[in-house]
């Protein structure tokens, strides 16, 4: 997006790593840059213009109103909950693409390191690994944060996460992990479907509205964990930049997995955790997903 709408350097003010092309393999390197207008000029960026552009292209008012109703219904206070965009789904971002070493985990393409991708794969295979690290990050935030996490993820993924947690297909009720309520597309889709009969726009464009709705929930969060690579996450960051003076708790997803020594868990580290070896072995045919 930053190359389609703005000059190439503009993304520096939103996310120094960009949407796709840069890695953040150092802990806290993915912090929001928080440029001042004068500092932005050093990169040829008109920060006021960039923020005004995002404000002028805010999400539709009726969706913003729906999101506020949704947040109230689920005891989520704007600026006081943790939001995460988990973009990585089956047969999409996680794939084996060659006979290279990286293919044992999946693929190191599109700005993903092997170590970072290993934690992503493990989060899909064992959602409790993801929840554990999200809880640790939420615990590190100021005490005014709600014990609520909003998980924006493709439909197949929130269904998978819920089935793994409850042990049954299509379970009822909210997912709770160690005292933290994890709200997702389960609650969102049920909420939006209550309006289908009375709103032709929602009925006709339900899938598109689900995505915009999730973005607006992320814009309202107090801390946002973004996916990389992802234009969706980058767009959310642009709107958050325009709406806030600073975003001290925003990070890429890789940051939540860093160990105390400032390094991502290696493939060898994960192998010692007792998970089935076949989860991380290239046992599939060339160019087939790990989850085929």
Q: Which domains does the chain have, with CATH numbers?
A: 8-98+124-262 (3.40.50.11350)
- What pLDDT is stored for residue 101 in this prediction? 39
- What pLDDT is stored for residue 266 in this prediction? 82
Give the closest residue to 224 by CA, choosing from 65, 64, 42, 14.
14
What's the whole-model pTM score?
0.88
Sequential DSSP letters for the chain: -TTTTS-GGGGGGT-TTTTTT----STTTTS-----HHHHHTTT--HHHHHHHHHHTPPPHHHHHHHHHHHHHTT--TTSSEEEE----TTTTSB--SSSGGGGTS---TT--HHHHHHHHHHHH-HHHHHHHHHHHHHHS-TTS-SEEEEE--HHHHHHHHHHHHSSSS--S-EEETTEEEE-HHHHHHHHHTTGGG-HHHHHSHHHHHHHHHHHHHHT-SEEEE-SS-HHHHHHHHHHHHH-S--TT-EEGGGGG--TTS-PPPHHHHHTTT--GGGGS--SPTT-BTT-
Neighbour count for residue 35 (Cβ, 10 Å)? 19
- What pLDDT is stored for residue 105 in this prediction? 38
Residues of the chain with pLDDT under 70: 1-8, 19-28, 90-112, 277-292
- What pLDDT is stored for residue 109 in this prediction? 46
Interacting residues of 40 by C-beta distance below 8 A, sequence separation 6+: 12, 13, 46, 47
Sign of CA dihedral 247, 252, 253, 256: negative
Asked whether the beta carbons of 71 and 77 are under 8 A apart, the reply is: yes
- What pLDDT is stored for residue 125 in this prediction? 86
Q: How far apart are CA 140 and CA 127, in angstroms?
A: 20
Query: Following CA atoms 142, 145, 148, 151 in sequence, which dihedral angle do they give, to the nearest 10 degrees?
Result: -70
Q: Are strands 175-177 and 180-183 parallel, antiparallel or unpaired?
A: antiparallel
Q: How far apart are CA 2 and CA 10, in angstroms?
A: 6
pLDDT in tens, 10-26: 888 888 777 655 555 56
- What pLDDT is stored for residue 1 in this prediction? 45
Q: How far apart are CA 265 and CA 93, in angstroms?
A: 20
- What pLDDT is stored for residue 5 in this prediction? 54
- What pLDDT is stored for residue 90 in this prediction? 65
Q: How far apart are CA 211 and CA 208, in angstroms?
A: 5
């Amino acid at each position: 997006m930053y190359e389609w709408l703005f000059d190439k350097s503009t993304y520096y003010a939103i996310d120094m790593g960009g949407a796709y092309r840069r890695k953040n393999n150092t802990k806290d390197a993915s912090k929001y840059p928080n440029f001042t207008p004068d500092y932005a000029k050093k990169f040829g960026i008109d920060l006021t213009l960039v923020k005004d552009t995002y404000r002028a292209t805010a999400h539709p008012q009726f969706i913003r109103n729906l999101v506020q109703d949704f947040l109230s219904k689920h005891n989520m206070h704007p600026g006081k909950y943790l939001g995460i965009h988990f973009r990585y789904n089956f047969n999409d971002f996680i794939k084996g693409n060659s006979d290279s070493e990286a293919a044992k985990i999946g693929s190191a393409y599109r700005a993903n390191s092997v170590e970072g991708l290993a934690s992503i794969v493990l989060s899909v295979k064992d959602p409790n690994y993801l929840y554990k690290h999200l809880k640790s990050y939420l615990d590190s935030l100021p005490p005014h944060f709600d014990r609520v996490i909003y998980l924006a993820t493709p439909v197949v993924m929130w269904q998978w996460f819920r089935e793994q947690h409850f042990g049954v297909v299509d379970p009822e009720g909210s997912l709770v992990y160690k005292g933290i309520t994890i709200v997702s597309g389960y609650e969102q889709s049920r909420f939006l479907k209550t309006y289908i009969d009375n709103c032709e726009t929602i009925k006709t464009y339900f899938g598109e509205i689900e995505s915009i709705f999730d973005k607006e929930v992320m814009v309202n969060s107090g801390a946002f964990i973004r996916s990389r690579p992802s234009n969706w996450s980058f767009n959310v960051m642009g709107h958050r930049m325009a709406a806030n003076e600073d975003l001290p708790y925003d990070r890429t997803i890789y940051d939540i997995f860093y160990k105390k020594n400032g390094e991502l868990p290696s493939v060898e580290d994960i192998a010692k955790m007792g998970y089935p070896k076949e989860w991380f072995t290239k046992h599939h045919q060339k160019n087939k997903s790990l989850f085929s």
